[in-house]
Amino acid sequence: MFRLKGISTTGVIASLILGSWASHVQAEDRVVLLQDPAAPPGSGLASALRIQLTGAADVDVRDVPQDVGVSLRIQAASLLAQADDVLVAVWAEPAVEVGGGAREAVLYVVGHEQGRALVEIVRVPGGEGPDVDRTLALKVRELVDEVRANRAQAAANDLTLEPAAATVARSEPAWGARVLLAGALAPLSGSDLGQWGARLAAGPAWRDGALRISGLAELTVFPELELGAAAGQARLFELAPGLLGHAQWRQGAVWIGLRAGLFVSVLAAQGQSARGRGEAREIAPSWLAGVDVELPIGDGVGLAAAVDLQARIRRQRFSIDENEVVDLGRLRPVVSIALTWSADAVR
């Protein structure tokens, strides 16, 4: 779980939900205002909302730090808006410059419809002050009246938010990047513990909601490994560059992926026996395909486990004095654990 200045994502949302339940009064409808705890009580937007929503809804003020970010506020507001007695959740962002010295106030209004969060963004010239707060409160009243009218007409009891300019809060398809650093293990004849190595991959990624597709350039290194046999001693080193295609689907908090690629292994072997020493270098192309599971553990950072099947185009063996000491085989599994980093529009 990632943290923002000591405040966890889960902690902020849980405190908002529990606080909302704890302070709930028996009223027909509520509008939840997410407000910086540093704001003075009974003033500004909160006061203007209470005036404009008289007879329509109670105003329930929830404290949320200003620096937690828009995405976390939308997530918290969406959860709050799922309550039957909550019409919408709102908050105001600091005024922004719009050019020519002019300023503009920005208000977010979040509702819920059929399991989807709906977001209305209201912009009002003027920046800050009582007049701006009153204008924002009037806009909220208009949306509240629409929500109440829609609820009265709906056959179901679900909350409906249907302002004309409402948009579904979702990320647009976007390009990003992926980097993976992994430890890898593969079986090898003549070795009790197999080949241990490292994999480094990087490349562009395209994401659309729960789908992410990556094209990666990967380099796998298996350091020099000593193998013993009756015929003598052998050392094997493997360096395998390649290209890997990777498709992932997000299921809840977990990414499930399929991967496939083409690699070219550069093999260097040295052998020693009672009759002397020798060395050999070979090129061994191979196909690789597998599955992986990735769990996000931070802001763009994840932990992934993968199982791949490597198929060499031709079988490669190494012998000492005509006695085989290494057989790479044609087909073998490769297991890896990776630390990943992704630059996506939404994580």
Would you state the pLDDT for residue 92? Answer: 84
pLDDT at 59 over 70: yes
Cα 332–Cα 213–Cα 210 angle in degrees, nearest 5: 115
pLDDT, one tens digit per residue, over 126-167 is 777 888 888 888 888 888 888 888 777 764 444 445 554 444
**What is the arithmetic mean of pLDDT over 59-68?**
76
Q: Rounded to an integer, what distance in angstroms lies between the CA atom of residue 29 and that of residue 88?
A: 9
Residue of 60, 54, 127, 130 whose CA lies nearest to 90 = 60
Class of domain 3-168: alpha beta
Q: Who contacts 234 (Cβ-Cβ below 8 Å, separation ≥6)?
A: 190, 226, 227, 228, 269, 270, 271, 272, 318, 320, 325, 326
Residue 336 has a CB neighbour count (10 Å cut-off) of 21
- CB distance 98 to 126 below 8 Å: no
C-alpha 68/C-alpha 70 separation (Å) is 7
Instruction: Check residue 214 and give its pLDDT.
Output: 95
Cβ 312 vs Cβ 285: under 8 Å: yes
Q: Which CATH class is domain 174-343?
A: mainly beta
Q: SS3 of 82, please?
A: coil
Q: What residue ranges do the domains of the chain occupy? A: 3-168, 174-343
**Local structure of residue 66 (DSSP, 8 states):** G
Query: What mean pLDDT comes out for the span 248-265?
Result: 94
Would you say 57 and 141 are in contact if contact means Cβ atoms under 8 Å apart? no
pLDDT band at 18 (very low <50, low <70, confident <90, very high): very low
Torsion 296-300-305-311 (CA) sign: positive
pLDDT one-digit tens code per residue, 191-248:
778 889 999 999 999 998 899 999 999 999 999 888 766 666 778 889 999 999 999 9
pTM score, whole prediction: 0.49
Give me the count of residues in the chain: 347
For the chain, what percent of residues have pLDDT higher than 90?
29
